[in-house]
Amino acid sequence: MSPALIIAHRLLHQGLLGGNFESPESLLDHMVAMQSQEFAPARWAIGLRVSGSTDQRITDLFNNGKIVRSHLLRPTWHFILPENIRWVTKLTEPHITRMSRYYHRQQGLDTPLFLKTRKLLTNLLSHKNFMTRQQIEQAFIQHKIVVKGIALGYLMMDAELNCIICSGPRKGNQFTYALVDEICPPAKLPSREESLTILLSQFIRSRGPVSLQDFTYWSGLSLTDAKAGLAGIDKDLYQFSYNEQLHYLFPDQIRSPTTIRELLSKYAARSTLLLPDYDEYLMSYKDKSLLQAMRKNNSKGSFLYNRMIIHHGRIAAEWRKPSNVDEISFNIAPGLHPSARLMSGIKRSSRQYLQFVKN
């Protein structure tokens, strides 16, 4: 498969080529999890992929518990459907906990303290008594648990990883926590082997073509885990080599060059897109050479993650919206000629973003 076809298939499967998902929930069911480290940009990541969606609609779904947010992968914040939070967290928790033990020791956190705070959080948040982090910190102090900053963050993450807490509705501009058992429906948990196969299968369907290295980069799981997940589906996959790594797709996902050309023509208005911070199109692939094809490496280490403008699937510029200014500013990637088509696309996609955040 050529680089151009790889890019086109990825755009299609990520919902960036057509924006053809009917609802934020159907998108999240497809993607499983979407990074939401930055809450406002993460809403735009959904808006890009769901036709007719608005910022307020996505915020309402979050506040009503139709979409929840927790530390799931690597670990960082991710949006996920309530019905999926338990099996994904159970799958990724062991690796994240092992990785975090050194930092726990640094902060003086031990097993008795984790057990105490899990029980306390269960009592504090029961009966949908949603609390902000600041309120929880004060409640901890009243129970002689005096922690702040990073240490408090690790205690909260531990409760998330044990599926005790997740996001609750916002109070003004502040986030709250809720009990998973009160806002997420009970679900039968698949075995670890089944979960690995399910997660890898959906990763391929929502982001393919992908390599196992891409999967471990995105999920935080080990290559051994990735291979275990692959064992259940490898006979069902189409595979090819690119950049000396095997890449995978399900056969029913493959589109012919003619079909791809027709799709690119049909959705020509989406050839230029403003991506938010940490968009899944940037965060799903360890090998970013296809993203960088339009530009040389930049000295800014964050350039590949923060507010990129892509043109035909490749990075063309970076953008920002100054506070209280109803316009987008941008910087074209070094060495790239700003063609009339690119500039027109940036203006069009800027209008789309500004319309989204107003509604």
**Per-residue pLDDT reduced to its tens digit, 342-357:** 999 999 999 999 999 9
Q: What would the mean pLDDT of 281-306 be, rounded to a whole number?
A: 72
Determine if residue 83 is left, alpha or beta; phi over 0 gives left, psi from -120 to 50 gives alpha, anything else beta.
alpha
Tell me the pLDDT tens digit for each residue of 52-73: 899 999 999 999 999 999 999 9
Residues 17/8, Cβ–Cβ less than 8 Å: yes
Domain range annotation of the chain? 18-183, 192-253, 257-358
Determine if residue 178 is left, alpha or beta; phi over 0 gives left, psi from -120 to 50 gives alpha, anything else beta.
beta
**Which stretch of DSSP H or E encloses residue 242?**
strand 238-242
Determine the Cα–Cα distance for residues 42 and 34; give it in Å rounded to an integer. 8
pLDDT band at 251 (very low <50, low <70, confident <90, very high): very high
Higher pLDDT, 47 or 331: 47
**Which stretch of DSSP H or E encloses residue 121?**
helix 111-125
What CATH fold (topology level) applies to the domain 18-183?
A: Arc Repressor Mutant, subunit A (1.10.10)
Determine the Cα–Cα distance for residues 196 and 71; give it in Å rounded to an integer. 18
pTM of the entire structure?
A: 0.94
> Alpha-carbon Rg of the chain, whole angstroms?
21
Tell me the pLDDT tens digit for each residue of 275-285: 999 999 999 99
**Which stretch of DSSP H or E encloses residue 231?**
helix 223-231
Q: What would the mean pLDDT of 232-238 be, rounded to a whole number?
A: 95
* Helix axes 85-106 and 149-161, enclosed angle (nearest 10): 150
**Which stretch of DSSP H or E encloses residue 314?**
strand 314-320
Check: CATH 1.10.10.10 for 192-253?
A: yes
Residue 221's pLDDT is what?
A: 98
Query: Average pLDDT over the chain, rounded to whole?
Result: 93
- pLDDT at residue 298 is higher than 90: no
For residue 93, report the phi and psi dihedrals to the nearest 5 degrees: -55, -45
